[in-house]
């Protein structure tokens, strides 16, 4: 018998002209638009924590954690092996490692841990970075971040919970929060019959003893969507005799016993599969009232408002990673005698994607700065309410198209699950649905314009200096003013919000952005409708300058 040895490679199996795996790279150092934006919007002090996260998560083994956490999805255990009800969700260890990385780098807490100018800009930048590796952990991160302002409405509850939410230590065990150094929060508002119309909720609450803010209640009802059900506490809505009210539901009661938090099933979702989303039942579930009775929507709205900034910035990170994967492929793959990245039409596509991503990055970070300024400036607070909704709507509408265009740059390879492109594509629509789908957001914009004229004035003040410097923006602004004068805007709300979004992006680029990016944006997004497909930049656009800003490590 012949001696055993390595299998000889067949000539037809030589691997030629196939890009290798993505090398380790620094996500922050190789993203000039993000670095410039963080510094410009008041977060210069946050360059160091952003750089630390960018280096940490740019390693191949961290990207592999994201793949593993999605390959082995969460598993619900309603009972333990002895028949006791436990309602626990088991995650792949990779998910817990990713959660630990996010919490250690204060993705959910930097804005509250460092309460100074640029704090929310820093938070937005960390979200943008972390979502490029795995978006599933961003749901509990966003809700833990956003729960803080609502909890502070009830100081005695905030005194216990906020220090745990602001901790840099992750503890994924299902044990009472009093025994943990850090905690995470979730939210449960949506019911089957209401959806976004939360005032249609039927969950009931009755006092255990004394009624009123901070007091104990028992809740009974059904929540159709509760994301991250293994969180330590949840903000939720239920009806009392005075109407819809906000409550805090912990997984464990104050005495350490398990709360009646019954997980009926986990949702089988299109994307975001590493994160558990569930349907839950309250049956005499112990809770504490947060804020004024009967004003639940007003109480919880700050949480919703803060989660919307995450829903606006996360898809930018997804687009950025999709482009990074496309550039990596095109710099190594040859066709028709030269590298794809040197083919004029491919360069146009990649450069056009870079224009879209830089505009969205600038818009997201500018909105985050408004959160920082809004703490002491009412006009900035009004601008933040309006601009957050505008940014969330428009960036999410652009994300799926951008991701699929980047996927196509890889050809058939991009359609294979071994690449991360299908996962990015499945993730792209989520934030558009979360915390208000497109129509809900556009109607919110109309309500804000009607109720808070100062918000529109602040937005126009933001646009006019740039409009004076660029004819296309001036023409676009006149079209917005004409549409606003027409009245009866509900049927055209999407048109208005889109126009406001590209006006804000254009103004930011003209005043603060890279000159080549600003020029390409104004000529392709303001002179005409934003492109339905990418790769339609005019022939005289300096694609080399744009691609230089998109390139990462070879």
The whole-angstrom separation of Cα 187 and Cα 140 is: 9
Q: Is the pLDDT assigned to residue 218 strictly greater than 90?
A: yes
Q: Is the pLDDT assigned to residue 554 strictly greater than 70?
A: no
14 pLDDT tier (thresholds 50, 70, 90): confident
Q: Determine phi and psi for 329, rounding to 5 degrees.
A: -65, -50
Token pair of 433, please?
A: 């649905």
Closest to 525 in 3D by CA, of 481, 477, 472, 478: 472
250 three-class SS: strand
Token pair of 414, please?
A: 């991009």
Q: Max CA-CA distance within the chain?
A: 90
C-alpha angle 130/134/138, rounded to 5°?
65
Q: Exposure string (b/e) for 158-168, b if CB count within 10 Å is 16 or more?
A: beebbebbbbe
| Mean local confidence (pLDDT), 427-443 | 93
246: left (phi over 0), alpha (psi -120 to 50) or beta: beta
* Cβ-contact 171, 223 below 8 angstroms: no
502 three-class SS: helix
**pLDDT per residue as tens digits for the range 244-300:** 999 999 999 999 999 999 999 999 999 999 999 999 999 999 999 999 999 999 999
95 pLDDT tier (thresholds 50, 70, 90): very high
Pairing of the two strands 338-339 and 75-79: unpaired
* Cβ-contact 186, 229 below 8 angstroms: yes
Q: How many CB atoms lie within 10 A of CB 536?
A: 12
Q: Is the pLDDT assigned to residue 3 strictly greater than 70?
A: no
| Mean local confidence (pLDDT), 388-411 | 97
* Cβ-contact 218, 210 below 8 angstroms: no
**pLDDT at res. 2:** 54
195 pLDDT tier (thresholds 50, 70, 90): confident
* Cβ-contact 389, 443 below 8 angstroms: no
* Cβ-contact 42, 372 below 8 angstroms: yes
The whole-angstrom separation of Cα 501 and Cα 504 is: 5
Q: Is the pLDDT assigned to residue 553 strictly greater than 50?
A: no
**pLDDT at res. 517:** 97
| Mean local confidence (pLDDT), 322-339 | 96
The whole-angstrom separation of Cα 431 and Cα 142 is: 11
| Mean local confidence (pLDDT), 90-112 | 98
The number of CA neighbours under 13 Å toward the Cβ of 382 is 19
| Mean local confidence (pLDDT), 66-81 | 97
**pLDDT at res. 12:** 76
Closest to 354 in 3D by CA, of 406, 303, 287, 293: 406
Q: What percent of the chain has a predicted confidence (pLDDT) above 90?
A: 88
C-alpha angle 32/34/35, rounded to 5°?
65
**pLDDT per residue as tens digits for the range 457-480:** 999 999 999 999 999 999 999 999
Q: Is the pLDDT assigned to residue 519 strictly greater than 90?
A: yes
Closest to 537 in 3D by CA, of 308, 352, 288, 292: 352
DSSP letter for each residue of 451-498: H-HHHHHHHHHHHHHHHTT-HHHHHHHHHHHHHHHH---GGGHHHHHH
With 0-12 / 13-18 / 19 or more C-beta atoms within 10 angstroms meaning exposed / middle / buried, residue 213 is: middle
DSSP letter for each residue of 506-529: HHHHHHHS-HHHHHHHIIIIISSP
**pLDDT per residue as tens digits for the range 144-177:** 999 999 999 999 999 999 999 999 999 999 999 9
**pLDDT at res. 552:** 61
76 three-class SS: strand
Closest to 391 in 3D by CA, of 316, 453, 300: 316
The whole-angstrom separation of Cα 545 and Cα 548 is: 5
**pLDDT per residue as tens digits for the range 477-490:** 999 999 999 878 99
Mean of pLDDT over the chain: 94
| Mean local confidence (pLDDT), 399-418 | 96
337 three-class SS: coil
With 0-12 / 13-18 / 19 or more C-beta atoms within 10 angstroms meaning exposed / middle / buried, residue 538 is: exposed
End-to-end CA distance of the chain: 46
Q: Give all domains of the chain, ordered by start, each with its CATH number.
A: 32-294 (2.40.110.20), 298-550 (1.20.140.10)
Q: How far is the CA of 204 from the CAs of 195, 375, 522, 535, 539, in angstroms?
A: 17, 34, 52, 54, 62
| Mean local confidence (pLDDT), 63-71 | 97
**Which residues 6+ apart lie within 8 Å of 255 measured at CB?**
none
**pLDDT at res. 5:** 64
Q: Determine phi and psi for 188, rounding to 5 degrees.
A: -140, 100
Q: What percent of the chain has a predicted confidence (pLDDT) above 70?
A: 98
Q: For helices 60-71 and 93-104, what crossing angle results, to 10°?
A: 130
Q: Exposure string (b/e) for 411-433, b if CB count within 10 Å is 16 or more?
A: eebbeeeebbbbbbbbbbbbbbe
Higher pLDDT, 529 or 463: 463
| Mean local confidence (pLDDT), 347-367 | 98
The whole-angstrom separation of Cα 165 and Cα 375 is: 20
């Amino acid at each position: 018998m012949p001696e055993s040895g390595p299998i000889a490679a067949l000539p037809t199996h030589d691997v030629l002209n196939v890009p290798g795996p993505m090398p380790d790279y620094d996500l922050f150092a190789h993203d000039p638009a993000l670095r410039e934006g963080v510094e410009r919007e008041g977060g210069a002090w946050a360059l160091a924590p952003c750089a630390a996260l960018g280096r940490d998560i740019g390693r191949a083994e961290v990207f592999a954690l994201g793949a593993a956490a999605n390959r082995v999805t969460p598993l619900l255990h309603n009972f333990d092996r002895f028949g006791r009800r436990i309602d626990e969700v088991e995650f792949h260890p990779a998910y817990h490692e990713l959660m630990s990385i996010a919490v250690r780098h204060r993705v959910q807490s930097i804005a509250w841990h460092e309460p100074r100018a640029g704090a929310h800009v820093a938070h937005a930048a960390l979200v943008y970075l972390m979502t490029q590796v795995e978006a599933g952990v961003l749901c509990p991160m966003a809700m833990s971040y956003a729960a803080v302002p609502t909890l502070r409405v009830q100081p005695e509850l905030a005194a216990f919970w906020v220090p745990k939410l602001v901790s840099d230590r992750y503890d994924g065990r299902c044990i009472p929060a009093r025994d943990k150094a850090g905690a995470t929060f979730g939210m449960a508002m949506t019911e089957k019959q209401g959806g976004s119309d939360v005032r249609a909720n039927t969950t009931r609450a009755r006092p255990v003893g004394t009624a009123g803010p901070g007091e104990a209640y028992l809740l009974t009802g059904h929540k159709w969507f509760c994301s991250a059900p293994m969180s330590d506490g949840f903000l939720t809505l239920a009806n009392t005799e005075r109407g819809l009210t906000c409550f805090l539901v912990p997984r464990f009661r104050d005495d350490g016993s398990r709360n009646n938090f019954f997980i009926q099933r986990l949702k089988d979702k299109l994307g975001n599969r590493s994160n558990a989303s569930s349907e839950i039942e309250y049956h005499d579930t112990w809770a504490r009232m947060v804020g004024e009775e009967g004003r639940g929507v007003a109480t919880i709205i700050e949480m919703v408002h803060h989660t919307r900034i995450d829903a606006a910035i996360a898809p930018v990170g997804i687009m950025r990673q999709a482009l990074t994967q496309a550039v990596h492929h095109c710099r190594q793959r040859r066709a028709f005698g030269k590298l794809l990245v040197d083919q004029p039409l491919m360069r146009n596509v990649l450069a056009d994607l870079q224009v879209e991503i830089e505009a969205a990055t600038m818009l997201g970070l500018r909105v985050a700065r408004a959160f920082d300024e809004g703490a002491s400036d009412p006009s900035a607070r009004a601008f933040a309410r309006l601009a957050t909704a505008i940014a969330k709507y428009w960036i999410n509408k652009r994300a799926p198209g951008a991701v699929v265009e980047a996927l196509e740059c890889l050809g058939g390879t991009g359609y294979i699950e071994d690449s991360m492109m299908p996962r990015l594509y499945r993730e792209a629509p989520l934030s558009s649905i979360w915390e208000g789908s497109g129509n809900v957001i556009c109607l919110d914009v109309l309500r804000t314009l009607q109720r808070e004229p100062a918000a529109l004035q602040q937005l126009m003040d933001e646009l006019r200096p740039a409009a004076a410097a660029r004819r296309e923006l001036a023409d676009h602004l006149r079209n917005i003013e004409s549409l606003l004068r027409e009245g009866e805007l509900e049927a055209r709300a999407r048109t208005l919000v889109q126009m406001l979004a590209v006006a804000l992006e254009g103004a930011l680029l003209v005043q603060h952005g890279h000159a080549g990016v600003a020029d390409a944006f104004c000529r392709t997004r303001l002179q005409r409708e934003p492109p339905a497909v990418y790769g339609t930049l005019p022939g005289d656009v300096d694609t080399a300058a744009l691609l230089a800003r998109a390139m990462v490590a070879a």
